[in-house]
Amino acid sequence: MGEVRPPDTGPGTAIPPARFVTGSTFRHVVTMGATGSVGLMAIFVVDLLSLLYIARLGDPVLTAAVGFATIVQVFAVSINIGMMIAVGALVSRALGGGDVGQARRLAASSLVLSVAASAAVTALLLPLLTPLLTLIGATAETIPAARTFLWIALPSTLLMALGMGFSGVLRAVGDARRSMNVTLAGAAVTAALDPLLIFGLGLGIEGAAITVVLARLAFAWVGFSGAVRIHRMVARPSPAAVLADAGPILRVALPTVLTNLAPPVASAFLAHVMAGFGTATVAGNAVVDRMVPVAFGGLFALSGAVGPILGQNWGAARFDRMRAALRDATLVTGLYVAAVWLALVLARGPLTALFGLEGAGADLLGFFCFAGGAIWFFNGLLFLGNASFNNLGFPLAASALNWGRATLGTMPPALLGAHLAGPEGAMAGMGIGSALFGVVGLALAFRVVGVLERREAASLGAEAERPVGEPVP
């Protein structure tokens, strides 16, 4: 399509196109996972601080409202995550095969489609906020505050679509530091502005929502600086290129988006179950929802880190390194969860006091601290499986597993657990489903690598048997 290679960006700015096909896979997993964790954890920590500031206003209705608003917002954010995974998978594979021009064009087309999808979802959600909030259990008390938050914050998901897309490009080229800086920028803005707007200017929940918008603006700008201005890994988009690339991109993105919509459905269902136990339980569940990414954000980052490593090595036909990366990622998952689990158990008392939770809300947070490690270890295995499927051409497998966990692995056991043991039983029931789907997901990921290896061997065998001079079909 007339694409040219990017010009020389000068000393210190060029990143080797396929850095993951050599060197220690364990080091690559740890480096990409750790830097990704820093950025994600920074965002999740300041999100938790934002909820803490709202909780400090002394109105549990506002705390619950932010929790419900977050669940609705996650549906829009999930679209962006799916598109980010798609751009990372396609760009990393093109780089692994040595085609920088194709990688740049795919990056540009993916960003255009990502923003368009985010705009469409936002336009769909805004008129439906009241019925959606009611569906997940919000009451007449909490709906007005949740609607206010969402009308301000939800349109900024377009900025997040750009930021996540640029971050996916940076991950694909292996620039862990600049990918981390994208999320750190948003976290820094949130940390600085939240207390100023919520307390200093007395804007309350509106101040928290305005901060979300400004943080996402910083998110997009820093991502643009790294992916476009420094690496020059995003070509100038054109309608012809977007139309030509839409098929390959959407074949990865649509199942990936479908995969990422499953967790919010599970969260919404659990919130609906918790709503039946009163406002205190809803507030406790809102705190747990914000604590999960803070405590286990490293698992999200780890799955994002594994994708480009698998993609580059698939492009280079290094199946041995793909298996090694999965084994190393599983080991890191276990070590990480063990450390976090111990920290949660030791900190359960101070955390309950910090958020001012009492009664059923305090009990739910305490149970999460005791049981969360077991639940999230298996979720981490499922994340690794999904990263493998999404980056290795089997995105429908990720969709099937995630929706299986969100439905069969969440709804029946959560309802049964709630009936037998209240809110804690609902959380435990969801954990049992996670264990089953996590083990299956990781086992299938190793199987996928074997399938791809056999396909490659068959292709090479057919090529070797073809008579010299016979055209390739």
Q: Is residue 8 part of a domain?
A: no
Tally of domains in the chain: 1
CB 6 within 8 A of CB 104: yes
426-430 own/partner pairs: CB under 8 Å, 24+ apart: 426/270, 426/273, 426/274, 427/270, 427/288, 427/364, 427/367, 427/368, 427/371, 427/375, 428/367, 428/371, 430/266, 430/270, 430/375
Q: Is residue 433 part of a domain?
A: yes
Q: Is residue 124 part of a domain?
A: yes
Q: Is residue 94 part of a domain?
A: yes
Q: In the numeric block, which tokens belong to residue 187? A: 């976290």
State the pTM of this model: 0.66
473 residues of the chain, pLDDT tens digit each? 333 333 333 433 444 456 777 777 888 787 777 766 665 666 666 666 667 777 777 777 777 777 778 777 777 777 777 777 778 778 877 777 777 888 888 888 888 888 888 888 888 888 888 888 888 777 787 888 888 888 998 898 889 888 888 888 887 777 777 877 887 787 788 878 888 888 888 787 888 889 888 988 988 899 898 888 888 888 888 888 888 888 878 887 777 777 777 777 787 788 888 888 887 888 788 788 777 877 887 787 777 778 778 877 887 778 888 898 899 899 989 998 999 899 988 988 888 887 777 788 888 888 888 888 888 899 889 988 888 887 787 878 888 888 898 888 888 998 998 888 888 898 888 888 888 898 999 999 999 888 888 888 877 666 656 554 454 44
The range of the structural domain enclosing residue 280 comes to 25-457
Q: In the numeric block, which tokens belong to residue 159? A: 């900025």
Q: Is residue 462 part of a domain?
A: no
Per-residue model confidence (pLDDT) at position 472 = 42
Q: Is residue 190 part of a domain?
A: yes
Q: In the numeric block, which tokens belong to residue 359? A: 């009664």
How would you write the chain as a 3-class SS string? CCCCCCCCCCCCCCCCCCHHHCCCHHHHHHHHHHHHHHHHHHHHHHHHHHHHHHHCCCCHHHHHHHHHHHHHHHHHHHHHHHHHHHHHHHHHHHHHCCCHHHHHHHHHHHHHHHHHHHHHHHHHHHHHHHHHHHHCCCCCCCHHHHHHHHHHHHHHHHHHHHHHHHHHHHHHHCCHHHHHHHHHHHHHHHHHHHHHHHHHCCCHHHHHHHHHHHHHHHHHHHHHHHHHHHCCCCCCCCHHHHHHHHHHHHHHHHHHHHHHHHHHHHHHHHHHHHHCCCHHHHHHHHHHHHHHHHHHHHHHHHHHHHHHHHHHHHHCCCHHHHHHHHHHHHHHHHHHHHHHHHHHHHHHHHHHHHCCCCHHHHHHHHHHHHHHHHHHHHHHHHHHHHHHHHHCCCHHHHHHHHHHHHCCCCHHHHHHHHHHHHHHHHHHHHHHHHHHHHHHHHHHHHHHHHHHHHHHHHHHHHHHHCCCCCCCC
Q: Is residue 3 part of a domain?
A: no
